[in-house]
């Protein structure tokens, strides 16, 4: 057994980091129990909300602070005991629920004794953020993620499988089995749960992937990795140093992390119908590359902002986002033959949910993609009062 490097963990609430991350189940379930995909859509209880307020949104196991998408866990299984209920990030939370990881397809076991579990979470988070950034940062992220995935083989050699459910079953059987608990502990000590970029939970009859919206919040202006403020990714650098030193390119400077505004069309240049300036157009938000403002033409020829389009699935390729925005402009510009047809590009179908806000004319349209198994929230179009004139979206195929 190698002693993992102790990394100073970040966050203003670092003093609160007091939950040790041992891969386990809370509470343990008997071997052979069927675990169905987890429903994560329940509202947090009053105790859980109080715990998250008390901890300031900081994960008590790794120190990661986020205003949204954190979870609460009752360490002793008693959901009414505030003292035993702690805030955890989704990566740390799933370490305590190994049995559910297989159902969520959200992690695999790797052998990585060099780093502590909590440090691994920071490395993977920064790698996922770097993939959103694109360019050199994304290439470095791919190198780290590939090096980490390559450690699965060693976990298979150690445990016989890289499936967290297998470890969960071994742990559940431990009290009754011949297995030496000390040997089991030693084996577990070098294993790490590598978070994968998906988190499938059951919503009704469908599976929904919660990871893209989570990543979207992390990189949003309110998120812990607001792209505008992002200058360095120290955990990605450290991960590469430990796991893939050959992939480190000293030529990549921190300045390259800044998002490239030119990656997105600043405006829709022409009226799709070709009859002069279009009634509606969009502009990119210079501070948030996943937000676009919709503008309506005024009688004097200028434009006023009337709504916004927000990309939720930040893993969507820029070209696909542009196609969708163009299609939406056709819709709001009164094109009677709107076809939201992006299926060829994404191998998925696009579904939407249309919602009026209050009794006013403001509307909110939520788009999701569906690949026959999993739905992923994709984007939200919000239009101010009076913009949407109750036309049904003619010709639109809701894909249902
Ligand atoms: Zn955490």
pLDDT of residue 394: 46
What does pTM read for this prediction? 0.80
pLDDT of residue 212: 92
SS3 361: coil
pLDDT of residue 323: 80
Instruction: Name the strand (E) or helix (H) holding 191.
Output: strand 191-195
Taking a 5 Å cut-off on Cβ, the residues next to ion ligand 1 are 59, 61-62, 64, 89, 92
pLDDT of residue 87: 93
pLDDT of residue 12: 56
Q: Which residues of the chain have pLDDT under 70?
A: 1-2, 8-15, 25-42, 174-181, 183, 248-276, 334-348, 354, 356-360, 388-400
CA of 87 to the centre of ligand 1 (A): 9
Q: How far apart are CA 317 and CA 43, in angstroms?
A: 32
pLDDT of residue 92: 94
Domain residue ranges of the chain, discontinuous segments joined by +: 14-251, 261-383
pLDDT of residue 135: 78
CA of 128 to the centre of ligand 1 (A): 15
Q: Which two tokens mark 296?
A: 């309506």
pLDDT of residue 359: 61
pLDDT of residue 14: 60
pLDDT of residue 7: 72
Q: At what angle do helices 181-190 and 164-173 cross, to 10 degrees?
A: 160
SS3 27: coil
SS3 299: coil
Please count the residues of the chain.
400
pLDDT of residue 303: 86
CA of 323 to the centre of ligand 1 (A): 36
pLDDT of residue 357: 67
CA of 86 to the centre of ligand 1 (A): 11
pLDDT of residue 396: 45
CA–CA distance from 282 to each of 14, 38, 260, 300, 340 (Å)? 42, 39, 18, 18, 17
Asked whether the beta carbons of 373 and 207 are under 8 A apart, the reply is yes
Q: How far apart are CA 389 and CA 121, in angstroms?
A: 47
CA of 92 to the centre of ligand 1 (A): 4
């Amino acid at each position: 057994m190698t002693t993992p490097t102790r990394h100073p963990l970040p966050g203003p609430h670092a003093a609160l980091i007091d939950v040790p991350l041992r891969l386990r189940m809370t509470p343990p379930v008997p071997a052979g129990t069927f675990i169905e995909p987890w429903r994560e859509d329940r509202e947090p209880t009053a105790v859980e909300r109080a715990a998250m307020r008390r901890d300031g949104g900081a994960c008590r196991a790794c120190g990661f602070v986020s205003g949204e998408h954190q979870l609460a866990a009752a360490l002793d299984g008693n959901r009414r005991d505030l003292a035993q209920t702690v805030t955890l990030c989704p990566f740390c939370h799933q370490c305590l629920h190994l049995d559910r990881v297989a159902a969520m397809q959200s992690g695999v076991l790797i052998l990585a004794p060099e780093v502590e579990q909590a440090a691994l979470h920071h490395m993977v988070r920064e790698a996922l953020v770097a993939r959103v950034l694109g360019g050199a940062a994304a290439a470095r992220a791919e190198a780290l993620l590939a090096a980490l995935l390559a450690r699965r083989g060693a976990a298979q050699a150690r445990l016989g499988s890289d499936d967290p459910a297998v470890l969960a079953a071994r742990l559940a059987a431990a009290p009754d089995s011949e297995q030496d608990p000390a040997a089991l502990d030693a084996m577990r000590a070098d294993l790490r749960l590598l978070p994968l970029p998906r988190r499938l939970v059951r919503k009704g009859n469908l599976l929904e992937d919660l990871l893209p919206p989570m990543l979207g919040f992390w990189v949003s202006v309110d998120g812990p990795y607001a792209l505008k403020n992002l200058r360095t990714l120290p955990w990605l650098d450290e991960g590469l140093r430990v796991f893939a030193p050959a992939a480190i390119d000293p030529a990549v400077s921190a300045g390259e992390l800044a998002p490239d505004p030119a990656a997105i069309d600043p405006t829709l240049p022409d009226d799709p119908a070709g009859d002069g300036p279009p009634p509606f157009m969009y502009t990119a938000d210079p501070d948030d590359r996943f937000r676009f403002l919709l503008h309506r033409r005024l009688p004097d020829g200028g434009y006023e902002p009337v709504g916004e389009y927000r990309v939720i699935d930040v893993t969507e390729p820029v070209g696909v986002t542009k196609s969708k925005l163009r299609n939406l402009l056709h819709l709001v510009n009164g094109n009677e033959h709107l076809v939201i047809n992006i299926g060829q590009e994404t191998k998925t179908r696009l579904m939407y949910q249309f919602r009026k806000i209050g009794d006013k004319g403001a509307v909110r349209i939520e788009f999701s993609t569906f690949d026959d198994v999993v739905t992923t929230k994709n984007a939200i179009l919000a239009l101010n009062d009076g913009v949407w004139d109750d036309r049904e979206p003619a010709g639109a195929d809701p894909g249902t």
